[in-house]
Structure 1
């Protein structure tokens, strides 16, 4: 089998295996995360999609405000029944289609056997629930109330016997049980339960059915059709909930406020807000009956309420988001989904596998075709595009998989890169490793991509040359053994090379303790001057760290001098026909060497030419040192000291630069006394200022002739 065919088969196998693993049963615990992510993204991108007032379901909340408002404060829920009946009747009289209870009151205070006086408490309050039971009976006669129960083994939690009789037993009682995924997140709502061999709709289905005036129809697999709407559901006998985002998607009424409104008989308020609605009574408390749902990343601050009817209670508004929501909103969302026909549609196993395979194949192809960094960037762009498409689709209730393609493609990307590294690119890597110590990486890559050997020749480019040297190296070398000197220099040169290459520079050669590097070749770099300046600052920082921490540097505190110059240079392969090096050649290299040597005279560390300063820009803090002529050149040039990044310049450094600039201006204007004064302000702490102060004082005492030239000629290299 040819190597290319083998590689293609390997890439295809990687994509298929990764895709299959992402949709396997082992990945089931994270599969629902796609819906959670899409719910949050849809909320962030599209915001509120409809006016909450258009919600078919509304919530009457027994909330923190109700618990703190008279007459309910400090009173157990068993004693609320009469007022619950009052509010229930008011909402139904206001035009509500049906009311449901996402709460179970399993006992009646009338059943209490606690001794009270000569009898029991139950005997003393006989008839306490009469108004509540009458309200339930009247509503159940018209099919407008549904009580909840919680199924569980042989002991379900049911309403009290009096309530069950009032609502005609199971005719108006429905299960409140919910479906929890394997990761403890609620994303789906059961549609029915088998009770005594009879299929019983859940609370949400019953409420939606009565609101629509259509009986629910179940097939043998538990799939529900309601008023012509076939409810989608990947898990049998469930509906995937389509939660809106935020904290006010379901209109919520505080029970205490509605009770006060019913007491004052404000029928207009109830007609305005409850006509045609499905009303669900439930608790909305800080800790009770709260669940993680697929809305957990898109919740809002609870406490947003509709306009109030009275001002007899004080609203309790939450100040932060909670990732859990009250259970009553789960049933309200299910009712809305059924009535508005927008339950979430989830693709089956085969479509999910095909989508994951396609994305994994694209990721594997990118990893095979491009370098790892570019492949990762392409994969990131592909993921962002895929998530955007999935978010738009979810805005239409279609939940395309997000997690499975992400995992499959990431695994395929990593596996393909690994395959290339271990198998396919072994020969290429061997060649790169063999020549990396002698040629520039860019030259090696160009040779490999063209399948041609290097040839003599070069080209002219605008580059920045970096020249560094160790101060007093000869004295240091005299004190050390050859082996110790070799170890010291190897560590020093390795550290400096790492810094230079990290900024895109290419080390041309080592000349003893000197480093000659070039920025802008062999790879193009429009910011070569700025990168060279950054490398110089980082080299100084790195050397300081070596002096402080490296055992080899103890007792030999090294200092370096760096010269930087920009200009046109000939770069390419220079040498004989049988042996040559990739190097740089021009006057710009020589000038960088002279600038490195100029540090000796001024007592500085980094000196750059005015050309480099102009190219590097204002990101750096430069100080103009002088105008000089270096040995071997007749043309004068201005030289600058690199102090730091402009953003990191200290106030003291700014003052030093200002004093020096003023002194230099007076110097060039032949105002030597004023120049000496300006330079003298920093002479104690600044070597260049001290040199100029001495020169200015000397000329102030012995003024030069009219042909005096403010340009200094340096005779040393």
Structure 2
């Protein structure tokens, strides 16, 4: 904005100086005499001697040139640029006969010339690399970033590189799961209202945190941190946004329950990865997109919240970058058979230093219980989980792992469990829960 304002002042000021210099040297004096006689002959005068206001001609010339330059540079579409220029010319031409009805003779030659010169100069500037940056950002980003981020990129000293580059970003995915209803079944209209409210609330919040909005729908919102910003702590920014989003989603759940008697469930997943970023699409309809990276894994983490009962899950790359800033606890190990890599997933809890000693001890017992559970020491895991429980506080992930340990401690194997093991673990079928 500041760059465009300075360019408008320079172009408009130069056009005004050119037109006023010609006006003061008498180049347009003959036209003023002819114009006065023309208005008299057409009855467009008050019948008295013409009044010439010296400062009015200067003011009109300056306003016409500066306004035209600003409008042409600020507007990104070519038809709108032409419309702004034509509109300015019409205003200048119609102003002279309007003032003549009040006995004021205004020669429109200088304002007309200044408007044309400002339009031409602004049009040339808008086609340059600096002048077309706003058009490029509007096409590539649009409403996918906040106005603050858009202005910062517009005023950046260097032009954004959208040709394709590899960068490290943190991806946040928020999912809306079907919840329980304590009242009558929601109508299709109410279902769409709930989806729209979720989409609007989550998207607006993530945009306010400086994220790039990749995907926005009634059941899933995906945003990227570090793609358009200068901050290198995108993992920390995404983690902080995820924790604050958890509070926002709690308030949204209360609104759902009060308006539609519907208890929704939400899940957030975040992961850091290397992506290839650049413009994607067809000519005239392109946007900034990312390829590869942790988008799929972040989405899986968001969906996994429905199984654990958690709200925010983080991948191993996020853990490596934020473990000194936030408190996390382990959930499950995930094996990537294609890359032959074993990943640890974590639940993001709170910023470091927000827990007291008792909570830290209980969190350590939870870590111990998860490790013992993986070592198949189920009784030891149950003992650790019992020590990790906070009286009077619902802890869904703790209840989930406690139930896993209790199922393994149970002596007889039930027939449904035996069938699941024989068909999935020992057989060739895949469990529907993992499909």
TM-score bracket for the superposition, by shorter chain length: 0.5 to 0.7
Residues 456 and 536 (structure 1), Cα distance of their counterparts in 2 relative to 1, 3 Å cut: closer
Instruction: Report the equivalent of 2:48.
Output: none
1:437 deviates by: 4.1
- Paired residues of 1:488 and 1:553 also in contact (CA < 8 A): no
- The CA deviation string for residues 640-693 of structure 1, in whole angstroms up to 9 with x for no partner, is 101122233356643431221121232234422111211234568322222322
SS in 1 for 2:330: strand
Q: Determine the C-alpha separation between the residues in 2 that align with 1:477 and 1:560.
A: 21
Q: Determine the C-alpha separation between the residues in 1 that align with 2:142 and 2:397.
A: 40
Within 5 A, what are the aligned runs for 1:408-427?
Answer: none
- The CA deviation string for residues 193-245 of structure 1, in whole angstroms up to 9 with x for no partner, is xxxxxxxxxxxxxxxxxxxxxxxxxxxxxxxxxxxxxxxxxxxxxxxxxxxxx
SS in 2 for 1:533: helix
Residues 692 and 426 (structure 1), Cα distance of their counterparts in 2 relative to 1, 3 Å cut: same
Residues 621 and 714 (structure 1), Cα distance of their counterparts in 2 relative to 1, 3 Å cut: farther
> Does 2:391 correspond to 1:673?
no
**Which residue of 393, 399, 403 corresponds with 1:690?**
399
Instruction: Report the equivalent of 1:637.
Output: 343
- Paired residues of 2:12 and 2:69 also in contact (CA < 8 A): no
> Does 2:198 correspond to 1:480?
no
Instruction: Report the equivalent of 2:434.
Output: 716
Q: Determine the C-alpha separation between the residues in 2 that align with 1:6 and 1:555.
A: 60
1:478 deviates by: 6.7
- Paired residues of 1:627 and 1:636 also in contact (CA < 8 A): yes
- Paired residues of 1:466 and 1:517 also in contact (CA < 8 A): yes
- The CA deviation string for residues 156-177 of structure 1, in whole angstroms up to 9 with x for no partner, is xxxxxxxxxxxxxxxxxxxxxx
**Which residue of 355, 359, 368 corresponds with 1:649?**
355
TM-score normalised by structure 1 residue count: 0.36
Instruction: Report the equivalent of 2:268.
Output: 562
- Quote the RMSD (CA, aligned, Å): 4.3
Q: Determine the C-alpha separation between the residues in 1 that align with 2:307 and 2:383.
A: 21
Instruction: Report the equivalent of 2:301.
Output: 595
> Does 2:221 correspond to 1:515?
yes
SS in 1 for 2:268: strand
- The CA deviation string for residues 566-589 of structure 1, in whole angstroms up to 9 with x for no partner, is 110111222334533212221411
**Which residue of 6, 10, 15 corresponds with 1:4?**
10
1:492 deviates by: 2.7
Aligned length: 296
Instruction: Report the equivalent of 2:206.
Output: 500
- Paired residues of 1:462 and 1:568 also in contact (CA < 8 A): yes
- The CA deviation string for residues 494-552 of structure 1, in whole angstroms up to 9 with x for no partner, is 32223222322111111442001101103343010011111111111112233446898
SS in 2 for 1:491: helix
**Could you list the runs of 5+ residues in structure 2 that have no partner in the other structure?**
1-7, 17-66, 77-133, 413-424, 426-430
Q: Determine the C-alpha separation between the residues in 1 that align with 2:320 and 2:68.
A: 48
Residues 692 and 445 (structure 1), Cα distance of their counterparts in 2 relative to 1, 3 Å cut: closer
Q: Determine the C-alpha separation between the residues in 1 that align with 2:207 and 2:399.
A: 36
Within 5 A, what are the aligned runs for 1:57-206?
Answer: none
Q: Determine the C-alpha separation between the residues in 2 that align with 1:590 and 1:525.
A: 24
Q: Determine the C-alpha separation between the residues in 1 that align with 2:167 and 2:285.
A: 23
- Paired residues of 1:465 and 1:517 also in contact (CA < 8 A): yes
Q: Determine the C-alpha separation between the residues in 1 that align with 2:274 and 2:284.
A: 27
Instruction: Report the equivalent of 1:586.
Output: 292
Instruction: Report the equivalent of 1:660.
Output: 366
Q: Quick check: which has more Rg, 1 or 2?
A: 1
Q: Determine the C-alpha separation between the residues in 1 that align with 2:233 and 2:143.
A: 25
SS in 1 for 2:203: helix
Residues 492 and 692 (structure 1), Cα distance of their counterparts in 2 relative to 1, 3 Å cut: closer
- Paired residues of 2:162 and 2:277 also in contact (CA < 8 A): no
- The CA deviation string for residues 390-429 of structure 1, in whole angstroms up to 9 with x for no partner, is xxxxxxxxxxxxxxxxxxxxxxxxxxxxxxxx99765565
1:625 deviates by: 1.5
Q: Determine the C-alpha separation between the residues in 2 that align with 1:677 and 1:471.
A: 32
